[in-house]
Each structure stands twice: as structure tokens, then as C-alpha cells.
Amino acid sequence: MGKLDGRVAWVTGGQRGLGAACVREFVAEGAQCYVNYPTAAEAAEAAEFVKTIKAGRVHAVQADVTDARQMDDLVARILRDSKRLDILVNNAGVNPLRTWEDLDRDSWDLTIRVNLTGVFTCCKAVLAPMKRQNRGNIVNIASIAAFIGRGNADYIASKSALIGLTRSLARQYGKFGIRANAISPGFHNTEMVRRARSGAQENADEFIKATPLGFLPEPDSIGKAALFLASDDSSFITGHNLVVDGGLTLR
């Protein structure tokens, strides 16, 4: 018996990085998973990812988290095909790596639209069916950027607000059997971090050296954290922000 046998999960941006790690962990524990990607340009990448997973366990759908109608349509499809939706992982996000001087309004609006409004849109789409089930689980991928204050302002602002949004969900929807938690990853070996390590804006290697555990982990550590929060192992945990950073933000 897997920890997620019979359950249906939706992971936004689940074809790569931390999202893909969540999907792999969920499928290994028995879940059926849906992933969405925003444009046709990501279709090939999503298809290749699906091929790496046990046949029929992952379904990739083109749908943009910033479009409320597309999110409603995707949830309707999941319910039509799988009859239920138990888990939502809000993983899709952008981080344009701009300084205050380089950050213009268009870049700010894009980051907030994807990282925060997109999460709001996805949550709105799943809350009604989860209430009908009297059961549901929302996991929002935040960031330690909310605590250390280094990086670009739009990303920090979006992830800080996401933690507050998570607490609001937990308080309001706990009575319907819906739990909401956040994960704040530190530096992991993802494409976003590899870009940061090669860029001039922030020296990501500085953070790795400052991490008490002293290494750069693979994304599966976030997948395992998401599995814990999405499973009954954490049945009495809601409104929590789980920091997975190797001790970097220890005070």
C-alpha cells in the first residue's frame, strides 16, 4: 500500500525541477498525477517527462496558471477523468533575476501574476470540489527568499505573500477537511539555481558555503517534503511553512 493510493494530485509546472520531484514521489506512493505547462513551447519537455514515469500515471495538459478559465477547465477535466482531486501543489513560478535598478513594472507584474495570483487562481479552482469531498490538501512552494531578503524584489514579495495566503487558507478551510501548508526550499540543484550560480547578480555559491549541512541537494528532498505534507503522515499539520534549507536560515 502506498501513502497516496487512490488519490489524485495536480502539480503546476510539474514537468521540471522541484515540481517533477514532487510528481515522482507521489506516483511512487500510488497517486495519479496531472501536470500543466503554460505554452506549446513546453509541450515536448512535458511529453518527455511523462515518458519517464510509470505508464498512465501522469497526464500533461497545456494550461496557464494565470488564466482562471483555463484553470477551471483543467479542474473540470481532472474531475471528469478521475472523479476526484485530492492534492494541489502550487509549484509553477518565475524568477527573472533582476536588480531593483533593472526591475521594471512589466517584469514585476509578470512575477506577481505567476507566483502569487496564479496560486490564488489555482486554489480558487480546487476549493469547491475539495469542500464537496470534505477532504483536500494544498501545498504551496514558497522560498527562503522570504526570510533572507536577498534576490530580486518581485520574487521575494511574491513568495512572502504566498506564505500569508497559505495561512489564510488553512484557517478558513480546515473545517472542511482541507489542509494548506507551504514549503520554503533553500538552494537545490534546479535550473533556476544553476542560472543564479552562473549570473552576476547574486553569488549563490556563497549561500551553499554558508549552509550548515554544506552541500547542494537534488530536488527530491522537496519531493519528499511535499509527500509528507500531502499524505496522512501530516494529518494534524496545517498552516505550517516547512523550511528545507540545510540550516541556512538558522538564527
Domains of the chain: 8-185+219-244 (3.40.50.720)
Confidence of residue 196 (pLDDT cuts 50, 70, 90): low
Residue with more model confidence, 84 or 217: 84
Of 1-15, 64-78, 91-105, the least confident: 91-105
Annotation marks residue 37 as catalytic: no
CB atoms within 10 A of CB 44: 11
Per DSSP, 91 falls in state: -
With a cut of 80, say whether residue 194 has pLDDT above it. no
Q: What is the pLDDT of residues 120-148, one digit of tens each?
A: 999 999 999 999 999 999 999 999 999 99
CA distance 123 to 104: 28
Angle at which helices 220-230 and 17-28 cross, to 10°: 50
Q: What is the pLDDT of residues 78-124, one digit of tens each?
A: 999 999 999 999 999 998 878 888 999 999 999 999 999 999 999 99
With a cut of 90, say whether residue 190 has pLDDT above it. no
Residue with more model confidence, 97 or 218: 218
Nearest to 148 by CA among 230, 194, 91, 204: 204
**Of 34, 37, 155, 173, which residue is the catalytic one?**
155
CA distance 186 to 209: 12
Confidence of residue 201 (pLDDT cuts 50, 70, 90): very low
Phi, psi of 62 (to 5 degrees): -75, 120
Confidence of residue 203 (pLDDT cuts 50, 70, 90): low
CB atoms within 10 A of CB 92: 23
Q: What is the pLDDT of residues 11-53, one digit of tens each?
A: 999 999 999 999 999 999 999 999 999 999 999 999 999 999 9
Here the cell at position 46 is: 512535458
Give the CA dihedral 74, 76, 82, 87, nearest 10 degrees. Answer: 60
What pLDDT, on the 0 to 100 scale, is given for residue 215?
A: 86
Record the pTM: 0.94
Confidence of residue 191 (pLDDT cuts 50, 70, 90): confident
What pLDDT, on the 0 to 100 scale, is given for residue 47?
A: 95
- Which residues share a beta bridge with 57? none
Nearest to 184 by CA among 210, 161, 209: 161
With a cut of 60, say whether residue 202 has pLDDT above it. no
Here the cell at position 45 is: 519537455
Here the cell at position 17 is: 525541477
**Strand order from edge to edge, sheet including 8-12:** 58-62, 32-37, 8-12, 87-90, 136-141, 178-185, 241-244
What pLDDT, on the 0 to 100 scale, is given for residue 187?
A: 86
Mean pLDDT of 146-168: 94
Confidence of residue 198 (pLDDT cuts 50, 70, 90): low
Cβ distance 93 to 16 under 8 Å?
no
Dihedral sign (CA 213, 225, 142, 190): positive
With a cut of 80, say whether residue 208 has pLDDT above it. no
What pLDDT, on the 0 to 100 scale, is given for residue 163?
A: 98
Here the cell at position 239 is: 498552516
* Type of residue numbered 245: D
Per the prediction, the chain carries an average pLDDT of 93
